[in-house]
Amino acid sequence: MAVIETAVADNLIASNAHPITIQTGVVASGEGELARGTVLMRKSNGKYVAAGESGSPAVKYGTCEVILAKDIDATSADTVAELYNSGEFNARELAVSAGYTLDTDDVAALKNAGIYLANSVEVDPA
């Protein structure tokens, strides 16, 4: 029997209290290598980017909607990715753009989208 994929235990999923569902979406070219657990914002063009902001005063890239389900490389091309669009996730395991911190509006937007955050205790998966 061939192994299709090997699962690696981590602490991203906090519980199964809320149904976990996945969709696909396009992550914009130029985002680079993104890790599982990266919070993504949808831009006006419909493509996703890592949660963050730019400019002065700072303007958010979009609205937080989904969490990346698997590592991807969107360095040089738009990349179709698997995205969690509902479930309960460990806030301590999430990633965002360098220098950015999720604020209460981001957390509310995620909750509105069906993504709940918890501060779970880390468990050694070994």
pLDDT digits (tens, 9 = 90+) for 23-50: 999 999 999 999 999 999 999 999 999 9
**What DSSP character marks residue 25?**
E
This prediction has a pTM of 0.87
The pLDDT tens digits of the residues spanning 59-95 come to 888 899 999 999 999 999 999 999 999 999 999 999 9
Which residues are CB-neighbours of 126 under 8 A, at least 6 positions away?
none
CATH superfamily of 13-118: Head decoration protein D (2.40.300.10)
- Identify the helix (H) or strand (E) that includes residue 39: strand 39-42
Q: In the chain, which residue ranges form alpha helices assigned H by DSSP?
A: 104-113
pLDDT of residue 57 exceeding 90? no
Domain boundaries, the chain: 13-118
Q: Is residue 21 within 8 Å of residue 13, measured between CB atoms?
A: no
Q: Is residue 49 within 8 Å of residue 41, measured between CB atoms?
A: yes
